Amino acid sequence: MDVDAQGLPAEGRPTDPLVGRVLDSRYRIGPRVARGGMASVYEAVDLRLDRVVAVKVMHAGLGDDDEFAARFVREARAAARLSHPHVVGVFDQGDDHGTVFLAMEYVPGHTLRDLIRKEAPLAPTKALALIDPVLSALAAAHRAGLIHRDIKPENVLIADDGRIKVADFGLAKAVSSDTQHTATGGILIGTVSYLAPELVVDGTSDARADVYAAGVVLYELLTGSKPHEGESPIAVAYKHVHEDVPAPSALVPGLPPYVDALVARATSRDRNNRPADAGVFLHQVHRVRQALAEGVTDDPELTADLAPSAPVVLDVPDDLSISIGEPGGDTLERIPAVTDDLAGYPMEHTAAITTGSSGSTLPAATEPVPVLRGGPSGPPRPPAGGQPPPRRSRSRRGLALFLVALLLAAGAGVGAWWFGVGRYTVTPGVLGVSQSVAAQRLAAEGLDVKVGSPEYSETVDKGLVLHSDPDPGSRVLGGSSVTLVLSLGKERYASPKLRGKTEDQAQDALRKAHLSFGRSIEKYSEALPAGTVLGSDPKPGTMLRPDSAVDVFLSKGPKPIDVRDFTGRKGGLAVSTLERQGLTVERTDEFNDSVPEGRVISQDPDSGQLFKGDTVRLVVSKGPELIAVPDGLRGSGVEAARTRLLDAGFQVDVENSDQYLGLGFVFQVQPGSGELVPRGSTITLYLI
């Protein structure tokens, strides 16, 4: 069979040359899972850590473009600054012989776009539940000084286990003066259906642009369609500038008014009417979710708080230069636009769209744009070549009546404005900033500051504003007070010292420390009696979340020792073994005629269980006792010699010697007199 270098059959070779390749001697590229205008994403294996990752590889040729390469590096650095459960993590970034890539967290599942296609329109409770983690991720980015700039359903991943993560920080940029004031005519990058109006008009990019895009995504979840459609990206872009996002209830009747107000607030064409950042928007989403959970169908106060304060007319610059990526695509990049003189007359914007790759020109899009303001030269000019209309003479009385009516109308208008919205202001976004910064922002809006009781927070650092009352974005009377609640930081308690306490005392101590009792784990202890706490896990002094479980080690008392019988074994071995077990040995050595010297004659106790320090008594044999054969036996009578030997504890054997004459006297003793022999040994008397 014909196989290639990867061991694949010829007919099964991958068409993508990257599949099977190992990048940076570490990442083995697997199947492609997504493709975009700038890069493709592959499932891969990290050979060093033996885990599945996603590898994002820049398209061939783009690596030579410094701007595209810098964008890749920017994505890695932006994601590295964020550590959040709803942000796709970036592990590594590299360049393998011109192949620029990112190694990222692999999230098996589908995108929010797939869910919208299959299930939208969604119930408002589900739509808000889906947008909640997206806003949580964006809020973390905004707190870190980053804006995403390309929020859309395709960049929201839904894992098979239900986790939701925001991906593709490739367009992310730090919030700074240059991002907040990009000159008209600069390059604008983003996705046209989700571009905030200020991005189209002057390239402005701050956290409120992300809020606008998230609001459009919420609109899609609620309705199943995008708010602005058009035959070309130009048409869609100008609708973002000149048309408000419709109320979702126009397509899905029955939605509560406060849901419409939430979408309208987030997608206001005037960015000053939008939530200051994703954290403020998230707080408003939580208010709406609470109202939905309580079954509230109409809440005029909530609706009024969320609704944008006033309509806005945006000034469109004379020369608009944006750019568009792929032909017919959805990504807006460059739109050279030439407008008529803004002299206060209705006009048409005409634009020629040039694609980045081929340079081909798409048909120009025209759309009438009414401009409701005077030109730079004053009131509208008369038609060219015409004569001014003749003035009508008026009587002084008519002029006076006109002036009175005009003054009355102006007074009524001012009064209506004052008693309607004129006295009101909007609380600025102060979440996540210090008390001094929050006070400055509130003072700038004519609001007083009160400080409430601080609260713990897992996400907001100590000393920063956790939340405010009224909430950011609320409409309040000028001069009102706003109560700031500062964060105490993460709520943590030290695990108490429990050693020496009883189990009940340990439970009380943990309860007082705002912790919970976990398990009782029994262990033998020579130091503390049974039922006494030996220690805990985690160790004392460890800082824990409230109600964290702490396991307690309880003493079972001394560990029992099984007694081994050493009778008949070497005494030295018995002593060393018993002492090594922690037992005390009392050894006695005795003569013994039946047990060899050095062996254990007896042991007490010789079975059962003892505890460390208990005593074991051993009797060790010294062997048989040795005594001397009596002197003076030679030459004595046989009976006298026998008597002396028996009295000394010997056995006696009598034999005739080789020189036996029948006299009956002892001629020789064996063993000889004075020799040491074991008691009970046999002494042989040889007679003559």
- Annotated catalytic residues are 150
C-alpha 5/C-alpha 581 separation (Å) is 65
**If DSSP codes are grouped into helix, strand and coil, which group holds residue 154?**
helix
Please, are residues 30 and 7 in contact by the beta-carbon 8 Å criterion?
A: no
Please, are residues 575 and 601 in contact by the beta-carbon 8 Å criterion?
A: no
C-alpha 179/C-alpha 198 separation (Å) is 12
Query: How deeply is 36 buried, as exposed, middle or buried, from its count of CB atoms within 10 A (0-12, 13-18, 19+)?
Result: middle
In this structure, which amino acid lies at residue 243? Answer: E
CA gyration radius, the chain:
49
C-alpha 375/C-alpha 384 separation (Å) is 16
Please, are residues 127 and 216 in contact by the beta-carbon 8 Å criterion?
A: no
Please, are residues 553 and 525 in contact by the beta-carbon 8 Å criterion?
A: no
Quick one: angle between helices 207-223 and 278-293, nearest 10?
30
Strand runs labelled E in 148-216: 156-159, 164-166, 173-174, 190-191
Query: How deeply is 650 buried, as exposed, middle or buried, from its count of CB atoms within 10 A (0-12, 13-18, 19+)?
Result: buried
Please, are residues 230 and 236 in contact by the beta-carbon 8 Å criterion?
A: yes
C-alpha 265/C-alpha 305 separation (Å) is 10
